Structure 1
């Protein structure tokens, strides 16, 4: 399944966001709003990828 440029960029940003939120959690402690935001972005990315298929 080839991804368009915008879908690929969104997927890369989602993975980068996961790394950033995980690093924040490890160093400074958990923040529920960061995880909630990441889940929302991940769901949006999944929706974009599903509509491109």
Structure 2
């Protein structure tokens, strides 16, 4: 059960980070490091989703 909760938390964090990165890009211009970090976070989330027990 703990794995499911941490996966949901990671997913929420990924979506929240996407929203913040997009807002930063709109307000202040693109920052490649922010997008790189978001991609890494997204890949980590996908990895957690693909290895979770159903």
Task: Give the C-alpha shift of residue 22 in structure 1.
Answer: 0.1
Name the residue aligned to 2:9.
9
Name the residue aligned to 1:46.
46
Q: TM-score, normalised by structure 2?
A: 0.91
> Does 1:25 find its partner at 2:25?
yes
Moved over 3 A (4+): none
Q: TM-score, normalised by structure 1?
A: 0.92
**Count of residues paired in the alignment:** 51
Aligned to 1:30, what secondary structure does the other structure show? Answer: coil
Please, which runs of 5 or more residues in structure 2 have no aligned partner? none
CA distance in 2, matches of 1:5, 1:15: 15
Please, which runs of 5 or more residues in structure 1 have no aligned partner? none
